[in-house]
């Protein structure tokens, strides 16, 4: 049985929690807020704040006049405070009190003349801020080796009073080693214990937990210094250690292979993400075997049950919503304590926004999780009440085989999880799709219909089948299809798959095949030259085999038939531009249209005798020819280049004859002054008849 143990100190530390609460309060009060750098080193939390309009700025000069700037828990240097005041900006200081104490210490000690030695990462925002509060000589180191190098580089430092502080999240073990070296090298040192108690406890517990675990999960952001230090500590004790920013960073196989799983979290890891990781690991194990989730005080699930039993109530209450914040809902449950529903106890949807799900005045059925009299609050759950109600619905649906609906929220090992009626239903991969070739990822975030095929009353687990519903729906569609299908009927379908001999098309729950010869009027080598999987195509039924359930489809349209185009647009006698595509001893083949080649006989290539077509032509050459004959029955076309050449010659000869005739008919008249004057005939002469010989 796999055992999961959660460290008591996992999650937000005091300083981080205080900073985040300050920002949320400002946002909920309607303030326009920006933070000087990310409020914490956690991508998810920063993203949530960004969605509520919280901007991140890198300098006070970027702050807008109507904004309140929040100084984050890491703190900033004195120069930043001075600039904020100079610009007259509204600001709230969320610096962790432990960090602020270091600021005061280094300022006071440096004013007394001490050199300051800071043990930490010089590039970390906290250390950068500390350095700027020093009023004199200061140095930063992060290892015993760097301390010894410092002594060599600045030998006079040994003679000066030295005050030593540490970054609040510095590695405890490394701090101890640094202390020994400092005491040995600098005998005039004053030490200030500035590592946060929460950091000490967290690192100590992580070390202990990792020593007795065969798989260790450290939850937190990779940009978080304290998270990375926790990871290093755990990794040194347990080789199988992972740093998880989200539940998806935990390899399912490592969970399944482990017997003892330890879980800790950095100071900037929100409780919601810790719970998501735990729930995900539990789900992985539940889908394969029994599991036992516990923290340092006992079994996680049992503790919850004990908490419920310890209350003087049946655990269920009705509450009225008083206010809605981004991560929690405040309700009145008729008691002196305020009721709070955290977002992860309101809904299973990690992407949900509370303001979209509930509004002030709504009445909710709730379950009491625990009562904190010190803080005067009752922690409540809505989703658990929904789950209790939903379970009854699930059981009833299993007995009646009723079809349920839900949304696929996760793809997990071996299947998917469907959220329905406040429950998560596991659907195995074999029951999730009609075909094993279909990707499960395509179902994510989609609404699906399913049936319950198995339930475990003791563990309140149910197994569903999407496939059974899809199969029924497809059977009905197929039945209706065969009733109305007939040769010649046109359908719009989707190409499902390709083979070397054709394409299979879904035409409404039934697949038909377009043979490769039906895809194009021209010759093709593979269907992919014409269609691809996923294409929407218009087809018609060519043939139906009702016995075998086979349908042959047509894709080529008669109006696209090149022979019909030839008949319409290229009658015998037409002059065409053709491309030489092949040659034989008796002539050359030329492409007239895609799918139609004509023959130019060797005697029709030139206006003189040639030995072979290659004497005049090359493959790929474009020439002009005349269509001299078409045999539509035998699909043959005869072409002639010679006919065009002879016509061209005849035309030239005719033009030459016209030029000669025109030249001969022209007369050259002499100028009037040079011509001999003609004697005018008298009327008598004109009237007299010619004499006969």
Just list the catalytic residues.
126
Q: What is the DSSP letter of 606?
A: S
CB atoms within 10 A of CB 605: 24
Q: What is the DSSP letter of 545?
A: E
Of 237, 225, 278, the C-alpha closest to 5 is 278
Angle 481-482-487 from CA coordinates, rounded to 5°: 100
Give the containing element (helix H, strand E) for 303: helix 300-310
- End-to-end CA separation in angstroms for the chain: 154
Judge whether 4 and 219 are in contact, CB under 8 Å: no
Torsion angles phi and psi, residue 410, rounded to 5: -150, 150
The residues near 34 (Cβ < 8 Å, ≥ 6 apart) are 54, 55, 56, 57, 62, 63, 64, 67, 68, 69, 70
Beta bridge partners of 346: none
Q: Is the dihedral of CA 517, 520, 526, 532 positive or negative?
A: negative
How far apart (Å, rounded) are the C-alpha atoms in residues 2 and 6? 13
Judge whether 269 and 11 are in contact, CB under 8 Å: yes
Tokens 């359908």 correspond to: 491
Judge whether 569 and 520 are in contact, CB under 8 Å: no
Of 414, 374, 394, the C-alpha closest to 289 is 414
- Rounded CA Rg of the chain: 45
Secondary structure in 3-state letters for 395-452: HHHHHHCCCEEEEEEEEECCEEEEEECCEEEEEEHHHCCCCCCCCHHHHCCCEEEEEE
How far apart (Å, rounded) are the C-alpha atoms in residues 545 and 555? 18
Tokens encoding 260 = 């003892």
Of 608, 645, 603, the C-alpha closest to 624 is 645
Tokens encoding 643 = 């006919």
Beta bridge partners of 587: 584, 601
Give the containing element (helix H, strand E) for 17: helix 14-28
Judge whether 262 and 212 are in contact, CB under 8 Å: yes
How far apart (Å, rounded) are the C-alpha atoms in residues 598 and 579? 10
Of 215, 239, 228, 216, the C-alpha closest to 266 is 228
Of 182, 244, 179, the C-alpha closest to 216 is 244
Beta bridge partners of 539: 491
Of 682, 692, 684, 576, the C-alpha closest to 638 is 576
Torsion angles phi and psi, residue 54, rounded to 5: -80, 120
**3-state SS class at 558:** helix
Q: How many CA atoms lie within 13 A of 226 on its CB side?
A: 34
**3-state SS class at 144:** helix
């Amino acid at each position: 049985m796999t055992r999961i143990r959660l460290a008591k100190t996992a999650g937000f530390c005091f300083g981080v929690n205080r900073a985040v609460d300050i920002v949320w309060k400002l946002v909920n009060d309607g303030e326009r807020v920006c933070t000087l750098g990310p409020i914490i080193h956690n991508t998810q939390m920063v993203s949530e704040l960004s969605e509520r309009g919280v901007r991140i700025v890198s300098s006070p000069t970027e702050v807008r006049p109507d904004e309140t700037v929040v100084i984050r828990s890491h703190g900033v240097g004195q120069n930043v405070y001075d600039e904020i005041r100079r610009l007259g900006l509204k600001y709230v200081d969320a610096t962790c009190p432990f960090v602020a104490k270091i600021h005061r210490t280094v300022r006071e000690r440096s004013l007394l003349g001490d050199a300051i030695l800071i043990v930490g990462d010089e590039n970390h925002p906290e250390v950068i801020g500390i350095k700027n509060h020093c009023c004199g000589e200061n140095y930063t180191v992060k290892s015993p080796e760097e301390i010894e190098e410092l002594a060599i580089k600045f030998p006079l430092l040994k003679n000066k009073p030295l005050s030593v502080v540490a970054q609040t999240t510095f590695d405890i073990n490394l701090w101890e080693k640094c202390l020994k070296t400092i005491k040995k090298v600098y005998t005039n040192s004053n030490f200030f214990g500035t590592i946060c108690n929460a950091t000490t406890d967290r690192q100590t517990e992580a070390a202990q937990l990792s020593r007795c675990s065969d798989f260790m999960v450290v939850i937190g952001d990779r940009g978080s210094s304290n998270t990375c230090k926790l990871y290093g500590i755990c990794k040194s004790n347990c080789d199988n250690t992972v740093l998880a920013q989200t539940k998806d960073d935990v390899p399912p196989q490592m969970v399944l292979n482990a017997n003892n799983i330890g879980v800790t979290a950095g100071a900037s890891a929100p409780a919601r993400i810790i719970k998501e990781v735990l729930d995900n690991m539990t789900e992985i194990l539940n889908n394969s075997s029994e599991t036992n989730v516990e923290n340092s005080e006992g079994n996680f699930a049992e503790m919850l049950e004990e908490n419920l039993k310890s209350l003087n109530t049946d655990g269920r209450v009705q509450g009225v919503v008083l206010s809605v914040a981004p991560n929690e809902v405040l309700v009145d449950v008729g008691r002196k304590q305020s009721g709070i529903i955290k977002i992860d106890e309101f809904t299973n949807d990690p992407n949900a926004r509370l303001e979209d799900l509930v509004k002030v005045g709504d009445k909710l059925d709730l379950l009491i999780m625990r009562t904190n009299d010190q803080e005067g609050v009752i922690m409540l759950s809505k989703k658990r009440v929904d789950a209790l109600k939903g379970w009854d619905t699930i059981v009833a649906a299993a007995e009646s085989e009723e079809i349920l609906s839900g949304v696929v929220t996760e793809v997990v090992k071996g299947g998917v999880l469907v959220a329905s009626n406040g429950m998560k239903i596991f659907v195995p991969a074999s029951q999730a799709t009609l075909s094993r070739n279909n990707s499960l990822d395509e179902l994510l975030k989609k609404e699906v219909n399913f049936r319950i095929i198995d339930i475990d009353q003791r563990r309140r687990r149910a197994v569903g089948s999407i496939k059974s519903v899809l199969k029924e729906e497809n059977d009905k569609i197929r039945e209706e299809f065969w009733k109305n299908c007939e040769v010649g009927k046109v359908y719009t379908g989707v190409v499902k798959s390709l083979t070397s001999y054709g394409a299979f098309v879904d035409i409404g729950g039934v697949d038909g095949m377009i043979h490769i010869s039906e895809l194009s009027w021209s010759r093709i080598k593979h269907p992919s030259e014409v269609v691809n999987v996923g294409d929407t195509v218009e087809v018609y039924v060519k043939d139906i085999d009702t016995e075998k359930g086979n349908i042959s489809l047509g894709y080529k349209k008669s109006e696209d038939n090149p022979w019909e185009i030839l008949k319409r647009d290229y009658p015998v006698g037409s002059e065409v531009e053709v491309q030489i595509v092949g040659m034989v001893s008796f002539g050359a083949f030329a492409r007239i249209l895609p799918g139609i080649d004509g023959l130019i006989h060797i005697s029709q290539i030139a206006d003189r005798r040639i030995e072979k077509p290659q004497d005049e032509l090359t493959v790929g050459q474009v020439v002009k020819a005349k269509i001299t004959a078409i045999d539509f029955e035998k699909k043959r076309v005869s072409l002639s280049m010679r006919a065009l050449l002879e016509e061209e010659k005849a035309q030239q000869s005719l033009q030459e004859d016209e030029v000669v005739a025109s030249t001969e008919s022209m007369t050259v008249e002499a100028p009037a002054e040079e011509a001999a004057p003609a004697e005018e005939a008298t009327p008598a002469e004109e009237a007299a008849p010619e004499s006969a010989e």
